[in-house]
Amino acid sequence: MKIGIITAKCKLSKSVVNQMRHAPLNVLKHGKHLGFVIDVVKKCYKAILIQHEDDHYFIPANYTKGDISVYRRVGRFSSSMKFDSEDDCNEWWAAYEAVREKAVDHIYI
């Protein structure tokens, strides 16, 4: 999937964003943070868009850290990711916090 989000003239739609994959750890660490969208991704109020090696990914911006897991509320349910160890969880959380701090530009769709 090739998308150009650099200029304001390109067309980015909800359907294109919803086709993006969830960002893994290496994308969180090495990707370019494009900004965030609000109420575009299904079951996620605020999502951060990331570009890495000509692919685009998203990550929800409302995770909370547990001991060896991170979770977020989705309506009345919760969604979580469990890790093998506390060190793995801390590594993911540090990369996630860095992404959240850098994603300050609101992308309007």
Strand (E) or helix (H) holding 4: none
Considering the domain 14-102 in this protein, what is its CATH number? Answer: 2.30.29
Q: Where in the chain are the domains?
A: 14-102
Q: What is the mean pLDDT of the chain?
A: 86
Q: If you count them, how many residues does the chain have?
A: 109
Rounded percentage of the chain residues whose pLDDT exceeds 90: 47
Under the banding of pLDDT at 50, 70 and 90, the label for residue 7 is very low
**Region 47-64 average pLDDT:** 91
Token digits of residue 42: 């299904």
Q: What is the pTM of this model?
A: 0.81
Token digits of residue 54: 């000509």
